[in-house]
Amino acid sequence: MNINQSFKQKLIDIVGSDYVIVDKQDMIVYESDGTHDKGMPDYVTLPGSVEEVSKLVILANDYGIPIIARGSGTGLSGGAVPISGGLIISVNRMNKILNIDPEKATAVLEAGVINLEISKKASEYGLFYAPDPSSQQACSIGGNVAENSGGPHCLAYGVTTNHILAIEVVLPTGEITWFGEMNKESSGIDFRGLFIGSEGTFGICTKVVVKLLKQPEEVQTFLIAFNNINDAANATTSIIGSGIIPSAIEMMDRTASKAAEEGTNAGIPENSDTVLLIEIEGFKEDIKEQELLIKDIVNEFDPIEIKLAANTKERDLFWKARKGVLGALGRIAPNYFLVDGTVPRTKLSFVLSEVNKLAKKYGLIVANVLHAGDGNLHPCIIFDQQTPGDTQKALSLGGDILKVCVENGGVLSGEHGIGYEKKEYMPLLFSENDINYMKEMKNIFDSKNNFNPGKIFPEMSDTIEQPK
């Protein structure tokens, strides 16, 4: 790596010497996110204000150096990986909850605020922030905006874009602006909605105004064990078909639930093949009625056991098992590759069957974890990168799973984004014209292609053609 000393000094002049990193050993933690992809940055900076971010962007433009925005680095599509080097602008220091307005039910946050901290602070006013990625104890709100993150409770509440009123953005020119309105849905062209999910290619999010919701009067959580994954999938479809919209319906297959139980002792029955975690919220009278109806529906699919959380402690334990499952799978093998293709609920049973067939074909273990209520699959391919050929097998298996999702009316990503990892599969879902229009939109924001280059859009040499 060739360090430009003049550029380095100007970085120091902007953010201070403590917040500029150029030593390769210190930058190793910035070469990857939650994926296997790696790329060493040339420089890392940790600005403390939007003004510093703006100055860094202008400076990088002057030197023609690529810019990669980074939050907590928990992304699962390679979106924050500096594939071609460049300058990482990390918003970790910008982590203040600036204001909570209980009357308007809004919060103003810096981009580095951790997702879970929003609800912790809002709970003092009887409020909460709905989107809850499984990484919510670590992921930042700026990263959630970049990827339009979802989570277990997005079945009822929607994803990040449904809860953002306004965003402060540093554009690729260095200009500071706001998209959206502080207190209402904006009129005219929705640049706020356009920016959410743009994966760091349109600019850098530095502040966010989010909607908060009133905490529900009553919450009931079910842990239901089944003999097979088909019964669990069909029960999910029947519950939604009955008109009940739980706040969450999560599924774990035998491999995932066994690992989760070993890690938490949450009470998952030993002989279960597949587990559903269902949560309903609302008024006490409505919850009791829904509870009885869900039990009636589930009993049609011969469950092994239906457990109801007796209290908040047990409910938290159920969720600890679900949200900690990826870490628990480390008991089986040290590495995993997670894809998040999404299919219609009615196709869940068939697609999961196809996933298991593909796992056997490749000779790898797949732990199926999914937001079953909205068909958002999370097949976790477990492998050891030290075993020759296993990394490539895992990547090929993940690609084949995405193809099955698209062939069955699904999409490439439900919440993790396209990033670097899925870009070659874009032609499975989008025509050449579609992709060109998207590229034109990026060009409007970033004509020099300086922001997060090499992400989302495939090169012609590495595309996967649409199925005939």
Token duo for residue 287: 């919850």
Contact partners, residue 209, CB within 8 Å, separation at least 6: 106, 107, 108, 109, 164, 165, 166, 167, 180, 182
Residues 20, 45 contacting (CB under 8 angstroms): yes
Quote the percentage of the chain above a pLDDT of 70: 97
Strand arrangement of the beta sheet that strand 248-252 belongs to: 305-308, 218-226, 274-282, 248-252, 365-371, 376-383, 335-338
Token duo for residue 184: 């209402």
pLDDT by residue (tens digit) across 389-416?
999 999 999 999 999 999 999 999 999 9
> Please, which pLDDT band fits residue 461 given cuts at 50, 70 and 90?
low
> What is the Cβ-side half-sphere exposure of residue 142, based on CA atoms within 13 angstroms?
32
Alpha-carbon distance 215 to 281, whole Å? 9
Token duo for residue 207: 């502040």
Looking at the DSSP assignment, which residues form a beta bridge with residue 353? none
pLDDT by residue (tens digit) across 414-440?
999 999 999 999 999 999 999 999 999
Strand 335-338 to 218-226 pairing:
unpaired
Alpha-carbon distance 446 to 54, whole Å? 15
Confidence check: pLDDT of 267 > 80: yes
Confidence at residue 338, expressed as pLDDT on a 0 to 100 scale:
95
Which of these, 205, 209, 189, lies nearest to 197 by C-alpha position?
205
Which of these, 429, 385, 440, lies nearest to 407 by C-alpha position?
429
- Where helices occur in 209-309 by DSSP H, the ranges are 229-241, 254-264, 284-299
pLDDT by residue (tens digit) across 290-344?
999 999 999 999 999 999 999 999 999 999 999 999 999 999 999 999 999 999 9
Q: What is the pTM of this model?
A: 0.94
Count each helix (H run) and each strand (E run) in the chain, helices first: 16, 18
